[in-house]
Amino acid sequence: MIFDRNEKKDVIALLGAGSMGTAIVRRIAAGRKILLGDISAENLEKVSTDFRYSGYDVETMIVNALEKDSIEAFAQKAAALGDVMYFIDTAGASPNQASPEQILNLDMVGTGYAVDAFGKVMARGGAGLLISSQTGYMMPIPFDVESQILAASTEELMDIPFIKETATNSGAAYIIAKRVNQLQALKAAATTWKERRARINSLSPGIIVTPLAYDEFAAAGDNYQAMIDASAAMRTGTIDEIAEAGAFLLGEHAGFINGTDLLIDGGTIASMRSGVYSINVQ
């Protein structure tokens, strides 16, 4: 049976087929072509089957988000499928899942490769979204260092002295990587993505309940509970709330929002900034 006879469809590319990214895709995917990229063939099969059984047009590709060539091949496949109107990057590892070096390479450098690659294939009027984190607000980075980050190529990021000297544990590495993600969206919006007439923003979730988040809860439950209790919302967030915000940033109503970050954390960072709550991030 042919479910959809439309041949030329806008393309949505998702790098990292986890629950948060797929929830965003579902909000915008009706009538469009979905391309899922992930390192796990098993996960791709599971997620793509779920999409197909829900009536969506989906293709998959195994992508190693640590490797520049693999990410560039993913971008090229997306472009071969049609006009790439949406790109979402959720690939990353959490502090209790990886070493500092692995986190920097995946969450920071790998994301940079993706921003670079899709900056060459996005269609006019398209939009991108990087999933950062509330942690990007937890450790201020000096202005001169942020200027170095903005001036550096993706390949040069690991050589920045501040990053090498500060990212000595997985928590600090994660915080730095997520702040860099926010800066990567800012820089691309003004340079490479601007040349394509496409927008790109980042979104920084707080504590969101996902299957992978349970690993973090098990490893550092007391810290997470303290953040939940200190937040104005006094609860965790859901992937549906992230999907709502993500769909807005990618959609037409956000057409004048470009190169910025949306913090959606229930008020955790507000509590930290106002002195109600503090955390040791070193």
Q: How many C-beta atoms lie closer than 10 Å to residue 260's C-beta?
A: 16
To the nearest 10°, the Cα dihedral for 40, 134, 106, 194?
100
Please give the biggest Cα pair distance in the chain.
60
Sheet holding 122-131, edge to edge: 57-62, 33-38, 11-15, 84-89, 122-131, 199-205, 261-264
Alpha helices (H) along 68-212: 68-81, 100-103, 111-118, 143-151, 161-166, 170-190, 192-195
CB 77 within 8 A of CB 54: no
Is 178 annotated as catalytic? Answer: yes
From the candidates 174, 187, 214, 277, which is the catalytic residue? 174
From the candidates 33, 113, 137, 178, which is the catalytic residue? 178
Q: Are strands 199-205 and 57-62 parallel, antiparallel or unpaired?
A: unpaired
Distances in whole angstroms, Cα of residue 136 to Cα of each of 25, 62, 72: 24, 28, 26
* Six-digit token string for 168: 């000595």
* Six-digit token string for 33: 């072509």
The H or E element containing residue 203 is: strand 199-205
Is 33 annotated as catalytic? Answer: no
The DSSP bridge partners found for residue 23 are none
Sole residue written with tokens 């990587």:
177
Q: Give the catalytic positions in this structure.
A: 174, 178
